[in-house]
Chains A and B, each alone.
Chain A
Amino acid sequence: MTSHPPPRRDEDVDAELAFHVEMQTRRYVDAGLDPAAARVKALERLGNLEATRRSCRAIITAQEHEMTRTAWFNGIGQDVSYARRVLRRAPLFTITVLLTIAVGIGATTAIVSVLKSAMFDAVPYPDAGRLHVIWNEYATLPQAAVSAGEFADIKERNRAFDAVAAIRPAPGNLTGNCSGGAECEPERVSAYQVSPNLFEVLGAAPAIGRAFTAADGVTGAPGVVILSDALWRRRFGGDPGIVGQTITFAAVPRTVVGVMPAWTRFPDAPVGYLRMPAELWVPFDHVQNRNTGRGNQNLAVIGRARAGVATSQVQADLDRISGTFRTDLPDRYAGAAQKWRLATLTLRDQVAGDAKPVLLMLLGAVSLLLLIACANVANLVLARGTARSLEMAVRSALGADRRRLIRQLFVETALVVAVGGVLGIGIGVALLRALVSLDPGSLPRLDAASIDGVVLLGSLATTMATGLLIGLVPALRASRADPQAALGAQTRGAAAAPARRHVRHALVVIEVTMAVIVLVAAGLVVRSLTRLTQVPTGFNAGATVSAQITLPRATYNSADKVYGFQRDFTTRLRALPGVSSASGVYPLPMSGEGWSGTLGIEGFQEAPGIPEPHAEFAVALPGYFATMGISLREGRDFADSDTAATPPVVVVDDVLATQYFPNQSAIGKRVNFGGPITDGKTPWSTIIGVVDHVRNRGPRASGEGQYYMAALQKSEFTIFFVTRPAAADTPIAPAIRNAVREIDPRLPIARLEPIDAIVTRATARERFAVLLLSGFGLVALVLAGIGLYGVMSYLVGERTREIGVRLALGGRPGHVLARVLGEGITLTLFGLAFGLGLAYLLSETVSTLLFNVTPTDPLTYAAIAGLVLVVAVVAAFLPARRATRVDPLSVLRA
């Protein structure tokens, strides 16, 4: 018996069964049967021959499939483990590529996720692109509110909208029953008085109960409210039975008709001057107030454009309506100085607001970063491909299947991208978390942002595609190459094919270009932030600490009690050891809270087309200006003797003083706060002092003129108390807490923090942009440096022989160094030229982000050019120095 290769399966089964029948037949013949009968009996004994044959073949077929699959997977498994070995042998290459991919993917994913949540999730309404906000636009005030009369006209005259609604903040106290009918604490809630059709315009329906009807909005109709999900859960325990019950809001009993779903609290994010998300809504048809005066601009208007009507068409329609306003009321609307018109923008743009340019800039930066990452991966893979052409040639010569070699390279790239992608997710999550913690509130809905799966897949795919596409080219070439030629060429150390070198040079130039663009952007915002922090804010708070205290109306139910607390508390603060002065104000500059409104000026003639006097205002306790370091220019500060019993007094800033009392002293002049000058009901207040103008809204905006009323004449429940220590390092916060506790232990203190911290936060968005862009710029620079280093290294590697010959023939190492260095710097200069040029062209797009820095600031451009050159010299120097150390003898012998 000899071994024999196995025959094919069908014949296999048949042969085996035939043998069985033959042997059995022979046995029956031996026992004395005639051959035919013996065969019949043998077949009979075997049973159903056909069925047996079929089951045997089925088993074999299944087994073969299994083997093929296993073989394929074993092959991939081998490739993966081989790839792992190869990659581990080149740790520098592997780590570089991994980090490049991880940073590119992580940064892109995090930023795009933030962008998506800010631009889209912050406006969660169906077909949100059709929602538009309408404002009065003046040259000095781009987004002024709309009066009821204007709203009524827009509603009647527009052709662009399906429906429009008006909304007005109407915060008030909620008293009376809570869950379980128990009497609970009164609380102040954020409420809005809205057109009954608001929710229809938004495309949001109540989760429980009904929306408002037109009849609900008519004056005199039974009072009704709709609750937000948050208020419903907090105060009414999420009881659906609340619908139909009566609650008391703003001292009026009203029936709860519905509860909105949790996803909408319109305004969900600030919409112009609508700052707080709503807790409840009250219906009111604002058209009823159309004759209350067009100066009384207190509405935000939102409309749903007809399907297919673009924002430009909406604006065109509003321009037409503006035209009718000018014709009807030329005195109010046609003044050339004010440049008035009705203006619109999408709700999305409104919400994204100032954040949009920052986000778009960051998006641009991360896109460039991803591009650099891709270029770097491509470059490194290409370089590796050159270095491995010998390996490929050897394997090909040894009979390796070409497809197998390509698959090997494919698996290698895929492995790196996959691992880099996983790292990238980690970086993305960390970056997103950092963004959320770094940015308290300057980006809409940032808290709700999460890593977006689509974005992640997109950036993974981009990197993978780049790596594979560019990785496959040398793989294909290497696998096709004539092994003998390749082997011979490699040992003689010839340079790579010129075409491939050009590709790599181009990639390095692109990397430098992109990096320069990101760096210029980063440099500009850094310069801008520096300028911003140097802006005189009008105050010099030093180590002053703020503490916000809101007195509950229930216990401080008379003006005397309020004044009593404020006097008593400031006296105690001043008496604390280490305190030089203490006072109070509301609202505190740069705290994010602000008041502004019209004011009346005695003897002021209203000129047609010029807006009524308008100013920022605040209430202050005596000693406030000294404590905050606001200079008193003229007159006097408030005194303890200015009380409710004495004539009302006011302090104005120099801007207001020169604007309305030019070329004369403002002291002794009289103003009032009832609005238009025709209002004779509010008493006149006499100006007693003029102080420096303060940038209340942060260093960027100079703001309007300002006036301060005496807190001790104006019973205000919320005050920011300010305490200035004599020495900067005296910790006074605990003492402030104690002082409050001694007077009224139930009073909560909010925002107990140095004014410094508040001022810093006022530039949070700028700091945010600076931090991210500098980070991205740095990464871009490092990546470009790595790219350059990689290319120069391989270049030197390829030319080892050439360099050796030069050195052997008496070439000076210095010349070799200069040549390699020169080549690296040439590439960098190309990148610099392109990068600076493109940055110059793109610079206009960042101008809105910049403060007192021109987008083409030469200093920034020069500094970036210098920085990039230094990095390039370092990146090229290391390989160049290696080139000078080539040993001519060993090279020539090889």
Chain B
Amino acid sequence: MASASGSLPQGTLDLLILKTLATGPRHGYGLARRIEDTTDDALSIEEGSLYPALYRMERRKWIKASWKRSDLGKDIKVYELTDDGRAELRRRIADWGALTSLVSKVLRAR
């Protein structure tokens, strides 16, 4: 069980997944590792929650999945960003920026 250094704000996981997939197609496990690496495991998400999030996003057509056979002969489900997903990512990044700058402003205020 990963120790959460604070539960993720609503929607943050989606943002992380979208951002990570923007660098190229990945399978679920690869996504988890990549998120761990880029965040120095500081966010250390509960990996199980990754999959329902992926399925949800697939249903919303932000990402699409395809099955590939790996070099080891295993069937692997690989996710990649769709155009809708890319648009969603841009929107979320903008929202995130707006939110954080707003919060910092509030925090800086005397």
In this complex, what residue of A is CB-closest to B45?
A: A47
Q: Are A51 and B48 neighbours in the complex by a CB distance under 8 Å?
A: yes
| Given A1-B70, A15-B75, A44-B1, A23-B52 contact (CB < 8 Å) | no
Q: Are A6 and B55 in contact (CB under 8 A)?
A: no
The A-contacting residues of B in range 21-55, CB under 8 angstroms, are: 27-29, 32, 46-49, 51-52, 55
Task: Mark each residue of chain A from 1 to 29: 1 if its CB lies under 8 Å from any CB of chain B, else 0.
Answer: 11111110000110111011001100000
List the B side residues contacting A327 at CB < 8 Å: none
**CB-CB under 8 A for A3 and B66, given A47-B46, A49-B48:** yes
Q: Are B59 and A62 in contact (CB under 8 A)?
A: yes
Known: A16-B77, A46-B47. A52 touches B71 (CB 8 A): no
B96, CB-defined interface residue at 8 Å:
no
**Are B69 and A47 within 8 A (Cβ)?**
no
Contacts of B71 in A (CB 8 A): 1
Asked if A45 and B47 make an inter-chain contact with CB atoms under 8 angstroms apart, the answer reads: yes
Please report the C-alpha to C-alpha distance between residue A49 and residue B46 in the assembled complex, in whole angstroms: 11
CB distance from A545 to the nearest CB of B (A): 80
| A12 to B49 CA separation, bound complex (whole angstroms) | 17
B76 within 8 A of partner (CB): yes
A641 at the interface (CB under 8 A from B): no
The answer to whether B52 and A20 touch across the interface, beta carbons within 8 angstroms, is no
Residue pair A4, B48 in contact (C-beta under 8 Å)? no
**B91 — which chain A residues lie within 8 A by C-beta?**
none
| B74 part of interface (Cβ distance < 8 Å) | yes
| A45 in contact with B1 (CB, 8 Å) | yes
| Partner pick for A4 among B27, B32, B75, CB 8 A cutoff | B75
Is A752 an interface residue, CB under 8 A from the partner? no
Complex CA gap A729/B78 in Å reads 96
Are B49 and A47 in contact (CB-based, < 8 A)? yes
* A59–B66 touching, CB < 8 Å: no
- Contact between A63 and B59 (Cβ–Cβ < 8 Å)? yes
Instruction: Provide the bound-state CA to CA distance between A856 and B69, in Å.
Output: 91
Kindly state the separation between the CA atoms of A369 and B28 in the bound complex, as whole angstroms.
70
The reply to whether B27 and A19 contact each other, CB–CB distance below 8 Å, is yes
Counting chain B CB atoms within 10 Å of each CB, the highest count among A24, A51, A52 belongs to A52
**Chain B residue with minimal CB distance to A49?**
B48
Interface residues on A, range: 20 to 34
Q: Is the CB of A47 within 8 A of B74?
A: no
A60 close to B (CB within 8 Å): yes
Whole-angstrom distance between the Cβ of A4 and the nearest chain B Cβ: 4
B68 touches A3 (CB 8 A): yes
A555 an interface residue at 8 Å Cβ cutoff?
A: no
Known: A4-B75, A16-B77, A19-B27. A59 touches B49 (CB 8 A): no
A551 to B18, CA, bound (A): 92
Complex contact B29–A4 (CB within 8 A) = no
When the two chains form their complex, are residues B27 and A59 in contact, meaning their CB atoms are under 8 A apart?
no
Chain B contacts of A646 at CB under 8 A?
A: none
Q: What 0/1 readout, one digit per residue, does chain A (50-75) give for beta carbons within 8 Å of chain B?
A: 01100110011011000000000000
Distance, CA A12 to CA B1, complexed state (A): 25
CA distance A609 to B49 in the complex (A): 106
Known: A4-B75, A20-B47, A59-B52. A47 touches B28 (CB 8 A): no
Can you list, as one digit per residue, whether each of B1-35 has a CB less than 8 Å from chain A (1) or not (0)? 11000000000000000000000000111001000
Smallest CB-CB separation from B48: which chain A residue?
A: A47
CA distance A307 to B32 in the complex (A): 83
Q: Does A890 contact B (CB under 8 A)?
A: no
Min distance, Cβ A13 to any Cβ of chain B, angstroms:
8
* Alpha-carbon separation in the docked complex, A166 to B70 (Å): 101
Give A45 to B44 CA distance when docked, in angstroms.
10
Q: A20 touching B59 by the CB < 8 A rule?
A: no
Q: List the A side residues contacting B77 at CB < 8 Å.
A: 12, 15-16, 19
When distances are taken between beta carbons in the complex, the residues of chain B under 8 Å from A1 are 68-71
Are B28 and A16 touching (Cβ within 8 A)? Answer: yes
In angstroms, how far is the closest chain B Cβ from the Cβ of A294? 91
Q: Cβ of A678 < 8 Å from any Cβ of B?
A: no
- Chain B 58-93: CB-based contact to A (< 8 A → 1; otherwise 0): 010000001111110011110000000000000000
| CB within 8 Å for A52 and B75 given contacts A1-B68, A16-B28, A60-B55 | no
Asked if A48 is at the interface (CB within 8 A of a chain B CB), the reply is yes
What is the minimal beta-carbon distance from B84 to any residue of chain A, in angstroms?
Answer: 15
- Specify which chain A residues have a CB less than 8 angstroms from the CB of B47 in the assembled complex: 20, 24, 45-47
Bound together, the chains give a CA A130 to CA B51 distance in angstroms of 74
Contact of B48 among A5, A12, A52, A62 (CB under 8 A): A52
Q: Which residues of B contact A20 (CB under 8 A)?
A: 28-29, 32, 47, 51
Residues of B within 8 A of A48 (CB): 48
**CA A822 to CA B109, docked complex, whole Å:** 100
CA of A42 to CA of B66 in the docked complex: distance in angstroms?
A: 25
Q: How far is the CB of A670 from chain B (nearest CB, A)?
A: 105
Which residues of B have CB within 8 Å of A59?
A: 52, 55-56, 59
Contacts of B1 in A (CB 8 A): 44-45, 47
B contact residues around A46 at 8 Å (CB):
46-48
Which B residues are in CB contact (< 8 Å) with A51?
48
**A 829-857 to B, binary, CB cutoff 8 A, 1 in contact else 0:** 00000000000000000000000000000
With A45-B1, A45-B2 known as contacts, the answer to whether A19 contacts B55 (CB < 8 A) is no
Residues of B with C-beta under 8 A to A44: 1
Q: Which of A26-45 contact B (CB under 8 A)?
A: 44-45
The closest CB in chain B to the CB of A47 belongs to B48
Complex contacts, A17 vs chain B, CB 8 Å: 51
Docked CA distance A23–B34 (Å):
14
Which 9 residue pairs across A and B have the least CB separation, nearest first? A47-B48, A1-B68, A52-B48, A55-B52, A59-B55, A47-B46, A23-B29, A4-B67, A20-B29
- Between A and B, 18 residue pairs with Cβ closer than 8 Å are A1-B71, A2-B69, A6-B66, A16-B27, A16-B28, A19-B29, A19-B75, A44-B1, A45-B1, A45-B2, A45-B47, A47-B47, A47-B48, A48-B48, A52-B51, A56-B52, A59-B56, A60-B55
Given known contacts A16-B28, A52-B49, what 13 new A-B pairs fall within 8 Å (CB)?
A4-B75, A5-B67, A13-B51, A15-B75, A15-B77, A16-B27, A19-B75, A24-B47, A45-B1, A49-B48, A55-B52, A59-B56, A63-B59
